[in-house]
Structure 1
Amino acid sequence: MKYKLLVLDVDGTLLNDAKEISKRTLAALLKVQQMGVRIVLASGRPTYGLMPLAKMLELGNYGGFILSYNGCQIINAQNGEILFERRINPEMLPYLEKKARKNGFALFTYHDDTIITDSPENEHIQNEARLNNLQIIKEEEFSTAVDFAPCKCMLVSDDEEALLGLEDHWKRRLNGALGVFRSEPYFLEVVPCGIDKANSLGALLEALDVKREEVIAVGDGVCDVTMIQLAGLGVAMGHSQDSVKACADYVTASNEEDGVAVAVEKAIIAEVRAAEIPLDQLNAQARHALMGNLGIQYTYADEDRVEATMPVDHRTRQPFGILHGGATLALAETVAGLGSMILCQPDEIVVGMQVSGNHISSAHEGDTVRAVGTVVHKGRSSHVWNVDVFTSTNKLVSSIRVVNSVMKKR
């Protein structure tokens, strides 16, 4: 498969204006993960605020990642391991607090599931807390209360001109010490020097041994430009500013028009070829599921044919030392399930409707059986697969018919 990593900005990209993942987008993202593509959520949000989205997308099941604080931290969604992290030197906090007070700006930072601020009544800070499900803690002496190294600090004001002036001043004054940029007209973000989404993403690519050409990055804002330019395929949302679109290889629909799903369907799902289906990744991801517990391994897959093997051992045999018929049916359903999943559209799911089999001969403990599934009917609402199971000497063990129901995602 050409692409291995799909990097998604969150607000204005993954989420629509109601701050939701649309059904079509969710279906498309689940499907590409099933195909072996890993997802990175790349956002200015704190890690805690991204966890519910990661759970909804099942990133933990598919080896995905959370790139939070605009790149200050990267988390393995599967086990919570911190793969990359940069923090602000706490000695800089009194200076930031002094400048905020001098200009009449509110100031806050994140800590676990809280926001620490000197201005809890500020509307933008309250909205940020609600958006990320964070508690607000008021601290009059901000730099004294923050006794840790924060990933980033935020200055807040509705005086856009004043924020812009301080941003320009700090870019000259703090060059080499801190990075500053406006993520919203009312937010001035302060991060460790050299931090942006692209630099942190580059560290992740190196750790995963993934090439830039194997990455798709999708975003809508100025903060996304560097990662869009880094990726092999950089995608701008349809509602992005012209300056963002100019940096992209492709412009998709807006976030209100399922732009992420449109891009993914075009670049990944529609382009996949049978030989590119990552069977090794599918096998690895299923090692703790039923097929993993039975030792089932996919060996070939395309739109019309799927093959898999299963050992005859203590997991799959009868007490008499021969292959259990129930394990054989599970093997057949596993094969037919993958085949139907390949055939389905991004907004569809597959569920088993009926399975029936004829057990013709036996396979003995120590052997490895091979299942060969071929599709005999491709309907809009159902697929019918014939699955033949053979011993290692090509003796037919069972012939099984599997009917799968094709349903729209709810």
Structure 2
Amino acid sequence: MPQASTAEQVIDSKNLEPLDIRLLVLDIDGTIAGESNEISETVKQAVGKAQAKGIQVAIATGRMYRSALRFHQALGATLPILAYQGAWIQDPATDKLYQHLPVSRTTAAELLDYFETETLRSRLAVHFYINDQLYVRERNDQTESYRKRSTIQPQFVGDLRNILNDEPTKILALSQEPALVDQLLLDLRQKYTPEELYLTKSVPTFFEAANPAVNKGNAVRFLAEDLLGINRENVMAIGDNFNDVEMLEYAGLGIAMGDAPPEVKALAQWVAPSVDEDGVAAAIEEFIL
């Protein structure tokens, strides 16, 4: 499929057969929330109009469940939140946890050994997420920036092995060097097969590792088919980065944001304007309203 820029459409919505969209799934960062870390009124109104037409809305994010909750509430969403790339699926209305797929303690310890090698230790901030709590080794600029955006207070524990009595939901390695994150992906994809570990990046400086059964595509499939009883053709999904790829491929209509990487745009069926241009509202207007 040809690559698309912000201004060009991979498909022409005017030539599409009428779409029976029943579920709209939205990523948070870079999709409904930009630098402001808030959802614009334009996007809120567009989502509200979609809901008024009977379309259900869900959030699928790499964020913690607790960090995603305020966005879920701001949209008036009623479905479970697909958090941690889908490793954690929970309904805020009932607190029911539908799915939790963690990383094994053995694999978590192996990753920590790798991250703490002499060439990497000073260049990475490592986050372990256990029971929807954030654990880090020590305070640093990267963790502080993450705290401000996520509004989650990390727990500083020194050696992260001290909290490995439980299995982490997700492991995140932050670096100020995007090239280093790419190298982590390359190295660890040679060490672990997709059947052993799910590896991705959600922004250029975030390396993420999760259970091999985890990705947003599987999570959206579970929500649509198992919980709602609808088909993939009834799903419209919007995202902006590599951790959204499986979700965009699964959905009957997968839409990339205008500032998504070229590889992600190339997999989408339509490219919306950027998050700062309220691209989600434009996509809703184009295909739902």
Please indicate the TM-score interval, normalised by the length of the shorter structure. 0.7 to 0.9
CA contact (8 A) 2:56 2:79 kept: yes
- Pair 1:221 & 2:236 matched: no
Residue 135 of structure 1 aligns to a residue whose secondary structure is coil
Cα distance between partner residues in 2 of 1:78 and 1:267: 29
- Pair 1:74 & 2:92 matched: no
Greater CA radius of gyration, 1 or 2?
A: 1
Cα distance between partner residues in 2 of 1:159 and 1:27: 37
Residue 50 of structure 2 aligns to a residue whose secondary structure is helix
Give the AA of the match of 1:260: V
CA contact (8 A) 1:5 1:216 kept: yes
Superposition CA RMSD, Å: 1.8
Percent of aligned pairs with the same amino acid: 28
- Pair 1:182 & 2:212 matched: no
CA contact (8 A) 1:118 1:138 kept: yes
CA contact (8 A) 1:10 1:43 kept: yes
**Structure with the largest fraction of strand:** 1
Q: Deviations over 1:152-201 (max 9, x none)?
A: 01122234434333322211212132222222332211111132111221
Give the AA of the match of 1:222: F
CA contact (8 A) 1:113 1:133 kept: no
Q: CA deviation at 1:110?
A: 2.3
Alignment correspondent of 2:286? 266
Structure 2 regions of 5+ residues with no counterpart? 1-18
Cα distance between partner residues in 1 of 2:278 and 2:90: 26
Cα distance between partner residues in 1 of 2:180 and 2:46: 42
Paired residue for 1:146, among 164, 172, 182?
Answer: 164
Q: TM-score, normalised by structure 1?
A: 0.61
Give the AA of the match of 2:175: S
Q: CA deviation at 1:112?
A: 5.0
Cα distance between partner residues in 2 of 1:159 and 1:25: 32
Alpha carbons of 1:262 and 1:185: their partners in 2 closer, same or farther (altered >3 Å)?
closer
Cα distance between partner residues in 1 of 2:253 and 2:99: 24
CA contact (8 A) 2:203 2:241 kept: no
Paired residue for 1:250, among 267, 270, 274?
Answer: 270
Alignment correspondent of 2:148? 130
Q: Deviations over 1:46-92 (max 9, x none)?
A: 10001111111122xxx323111111112223322122221111122
Q: CA deviation at 1:113?
A: 5.9
Residue 254 of structure 2 aligns to a residue whose secondary structure is strand
Q: Write out aligned runs for 1:357-376 (5 A).
A: none
Alignment correspondent of 1:117? 136
Alignment correspondent of 1:164? 182
Cα distance between partner residues in 1 of 2:81 and 2:190: 31
Q: TM-score, normalised by structure 2?
A: 0.86
CA contact (8 A) 1:215 1:231 kept: yes
Q: More relative contact order in 1 or in 2 (CA 8 Å, sep 6+)?
A: 2
- Pair 1:50 & 2:65 matched: no
Give the AA of the match of 2:242: V
Structure 1 regions of 5+ residues with no counterpart? 270-410
Alpha carbons of 1:264 and 1:138: their partners in 2 closer, same or farther (altered >3 Å)?
same
Paired residue for 1:64, among 79, 84, 101?
Answer: 79
Cα distance between partner residues in 2 of 1:161 and 1:237: 23
